[in-house]
Structure 1
Amino acid sequence: MKYVPLPPVSIPESDQPRLDEVVRQASADRHPVAAFLACELSRASVLSARDFPTDAVTLDRWVAFRSDRGWRPERRLLVCPQDYRLPELHLSVLSPLGAALLGLRVGSEIAYQSIEGVRHVACVESLGGPSRSPVATSLHSI
């Protein structure tokens, strides 16, 4: 796999307390993704709502992404672990992929490791909710 440099990460200051609590609880529970999420947050620029880019991945926002250069993007709502309900709709920020995508801008790609230690690359394709395509409609009706 090719070398993928670390892209810049930005988070809105309104998300910081929730993300800090996720890391605190995950670290206490010895969650395998806690250190990675903490590392991503430590290198993130924390921006006011006014200065936050509209094309960056945040909590409670839909993100379309490709993992390992898949042929079709997947679309999920990035959520805190306590809000995770359906794998077809949600992506936990405490998953390796969710932690990797947090704060990236559309067009950015990042390398990350699965819990099993396998290296992957994800790319942010777009932001926003599901369209009315047949796939999105079937996900939306769940």
Structure 2
Amino acid sequence: MTKSGRGRLPKIVVSHDEQERLSALAASISVRNPELAEELQGEMERARVVAPDKVPAGVVRMNSEVEFESDDGQRRRVTLVYPGDADISAGRISILTPIGTALIGLSEGQSITWTARDGREQRLTVLSVHGGGPEEPAQDGAEAGPVVDLSGVRAARSRRTSAAGAAGGDDPGPSAA
């Protein structure tokens, strides 16, 4: 991040849980994208870290819906998400983008100058923040279902398919019965 208007970066707040997860994420990309990893880790190191239930209202967290205004006067509404949930066409931007890293931990009314991927410096001001945190969806309020690991199911299915093929059988499965 570059410095904000008065020569200092704005104060930011993150939860302990998000700080741990985002620091680990930064470490995991350090070889592939060292500059972005450094930016994200720098944000985590300078943040005031608090318990998840102590993050003040109006602070940008993961899964927050954020409305901000850029220095050219354009307003945008985005949701800050982890990389696997990013979908720019749906307004879900990854924390692993320069703007995502700039937004984390900011409060309503704060501004920051950040460097876009094309090298241009841009300034944004957070106008409003809704939702956020690991368990709280930002947009529709619908609860996310539990995370289900299907790798064991896929592996078993793969073994069954391989065994049927090796035996020369053509098992159509239970739907054919």
Query: What range describes the TM-score normalised by the shorter chain of this pair?
Result: 0.7 to 0.9
Deviations 1:73-124 (A, max 9, x none): 2111101112212343211111111101100000000011112221110111
Give TM-score, length-normalised by structure 1.
0.81
Q: Does 1:55 align with 2:48?
A: no
**Which residue of structure 2 aligns with residue 64 of structure 1?**
67
Name the counterpart of 2:118: 116
Aligned length: 129
Deviation, structure 1 residue 3: 3.2
User: Structure 1 residue 130: deviation in Å?
Assistant: 6.1
- Aligned residue in 1 for 2:145: none
8 Å CA contact 2:60–2:105 kept in 1: the answer is yes
**Larger displacement relative to structure 2 (6-15 or 29-38):** 29-38
Counterpart position of 1:39:
42
Aligned position for 1:29: 32
Whether 1:11 and 2:11 are equivalent positions in the alignment is no
Structure 1's unaligned 5+ residue stretches are 132-142
Q: Which residue of 1 aligns with 2:77?
A: 75
Structure 1 or 2: more strand by fraction: 1
Using the TM superposition, give the Cα deviation of residue 51 of structure 1 relative to its aligned residue in structure 2, in angstroms. Answer: 2.0
Same amino acid, percent of matched pairs:
29
1:92 paired residue number? 94
Relative CO higher for 1 or 2, CA cutoff 8 Å, sep ≥ 6?
1
Q: 1:22·1:80 contact (CA, 8 Å) conserved in 2?
A: no
Q: Give TM-score, length-normalised by structure 2.
A: 0.66
Structure 2 residue runs of 5 or longer lacking an equivalent are 131-137, 141-177
Q: CA RMSD in A?
A: 2.0
SS at 2:80 equivalent:
strand
Shift of 1:69: 4.2
Which 10-residue stretch deviates more, 17-26 or 103-112? 17-26
Distance 2:13 2:30 in 1: 22
Contact 2:87 2:93 in 1 (8 A): no
- Quick check: 2:23–2:40 contact (8 Å CA) kept in 1? no
Question: Which one is further off, 7-16 or 102-111?
Answer: 7-16
